[in-house]
Structure formats: C-alpha cells, structure tokens
Amino acid sequence: MSKNKLFFELAPLDEEFKTRWVKTDEFIGKYQTLRFGNGGSWIRKTSSLNKQFNIEIKRVGRRISEIRLNGKKKEEDLFNNNRPIGREIKTQLKHQVCASCGTRTNTLIDHKNGRYNNPVVLKTKTQKVGDFQVLCVHCNLRKRQVCKECRNTGQRYEATKIYYPKDFTQGSQEHNGLADGCRGCYWYDIEDFRKTIV
C-alpha cells in the first residue's frame, strides 16, 4: 500500500478534504513506513500529496510532531507548483529587462507557455532558454490573469486590445489545447510577437 493510502487510512478525509491532526507518534506498526526519515519525502513540495492538498505541520524544535491535510489546493496553486527553471537558464536571463514594459526592477523569469502543458519545458534536463522570457511582477500578473481566462474559455488573448494591428502571429483565437497552442499569442513570446508584427 502506498504511503498516501496508508495516511488516508489512518486519518480519513472529510467532506472538505481535511484530516484530523495526526501525531507522528502514531506512525507505528502497520503505519511505520510513514515515519519521516530525511525530510519526509511523501509530504515534500514535489510529492503527489503536496500537489493536491494543503499540508500543515507542527514541530517540536526541528522535529515534525503532527501533520494534517487542510483542504485541496486551488487551481492557481496547482498551476504554480513544481515548475523548476534550470540554473543555466536563470543565469542567462537574470539581467534582462521585462519583455513587455522594459523595466529592470522586480523582474522574474516566466514560462512562455501559460498552460504549463508541455512536459519538455517542465523538466530542467530538456527545457531551453527559448522556453522562457523575462517579465516584471506587474506584467507577469497581467499575463497570469490572461492565461487563466484562456484556460477557462479556450479563447486566446487578442493583441488588438493593446493597439497592435493583428491579434495573433500564428493560429486563431481558439486555443487548440496542444502544447504549442499558445504560439502566436502576444503573451506567449512578446519579443517575437513584436518582431513579427512590424
């Protein structure tokens, strides 16, 4: 039986996807495999349990003493989880300005694909610099909202709303749901969009 199933057996989920507080002292006998060795692998940020549920922990000193699940993660949390960016990519892009507004302050490295549905880009071993762009926090929040609306409606962002002569450089307004379905949208690759439109 998996560790997740063992935990649910010990502390069943209620209708709000919550469990009771479970003392780590209860991890004995049948539940001994739930004991935390090196950092509690089954509750780490990258674990399947942490990707689905809000995990709360109590500690005594540095030792985890109690754990509970406190509801399912929201859609935004699921989209924000486990999307590493390789060190070399960070080094190459860290001094660039925001691709949208040109500011140098409060910038971050953004996944161009706002649907995060390309497994190649989600692995540091296979991702490339061209899969990312630099945005400031403000522009990144705008893009996040635009991408959320696109996921909900299937309709891509129209660049004519921000006074470009065309909405897309590739594809149509309807997102095709594929890993490359964001290509041609302003927010997918702002630099390429501007070069192509001119």
Judge whether residue 118 has pLDDT over 60: yes
Share of the chain above pLDDT 90, in %: 62
CB atoms within 10 A of CB 159: 21
Average pLDDT of the residues in 79-85: 70
163-187 per-residue burial string, b: 16 or more CB within 10 A, e: under 16: ebeebbbebeeebeeeeebbbbbbb
Q: Whose CA is closest to 22, among 10, 36, 38?
A: 10
Judge whether residue 16 has pLDDT over 90: no
Q: What are the boundaries of each domain within the chain?
A: 3-77, 83-197
Query: What's the chain's average pLDDT?
Result: 89
Q: What is the pLDDT of residue 81?
A: 57
Give me the residues paired with residue 22 across strands. Answer: 67
* d(C-alpha 54, C-alpha 62), whole Å: 20
pLDDT in tens, 136-149: 999 999 999 999 89
Average pLDDT of the residues in 75-101: 82
Average pLDDT of the residues in 51-63: 87
Q: What is the pLDDT of residue 40?
A: 67
DSSP letters, 75-99, are HHHHHHSS----HHHHHHHTTPPPT
Q: What is the pLDDT of residue 43?
A: 87
Query: Which has the higher per-residue pLDDT, 42 or 103?
Result: 103
Share of the chain above pLDDT 70, in %: 93
Strands (E) located in 42-185: 53-60, 63-72, 107-111, 132-136
Q: What is the pLDDT of residue 41?
A: 77
Judge whether residue 74 has pLDDT over 80: no
Tokens of 116: 């995060």
Judge whether residue 109 has pLDDT over 70: yes
Tokens of 193: 């969009």
Average pLDDT of the residues in 85-102: 94
Judge whether residue 29 has pLDDT over 70: yes
Q: What is the pLDDT of residue 80?
A: 55
Average pLDDT of the residues in 188-192: 97
